[in-house]
Amino acid sequence: MMAGRYNKIALALAFTLVFMQQAGAQTIGPAIDGAAASIKDIFGNVSNLILMIGAVTGLAGGIRVYIKWQNGDQDLNKHIIGWTGSCIFLLLTGTVLKLFFGL
């Protein structure tokens, strides 16, 4: 007798879940599309910001290396490699973000 009662409760619960899933699927789809568009916009702006930071860093590094070169610093190669590497990293990061998110 109890097994029949639990079966009816399980069946009612299953129908309720299926109905809720069908109702929710109609509203979740546009929400996910909107979230994907927002993320694309945000990462587009972030990748442009990273590219601008790379440009400013490159200019600052160039000025710093030039000053060290004029002062006759002996470790000039180390500074050139460091600043060049950081600029390349920032430029590649901005480009990879754009490629990864299809911008």
Query: Which comes out higher in pLDDT, residue 48 or 69?
Result: 69
Query: Which comes out higher in pLDDT, residue 51 or 11?
Result: 51
Measure the CA–CA gap between 20 and 13, rounded to whole angstroms.
10
Amino acid residing at 45: N
Per-residue pLDDT of 12-45, as tens digits, reads 777 676 666 655 556 666 767 777 777 777 777 7
Expressed as residue numbers, the domain containing 53 is: 2-100
Query: Is the separation of the CB atoms in 83 and 65 below 8 Å?
Result: yes
Query: Is the separation of the CB atoms in 50 and 83 below 8 Å?
Result: no
Domain count along the chain: 1
| pLDDT of 3 over the 60 cut | no
The SS3 call for residue 89 is helix
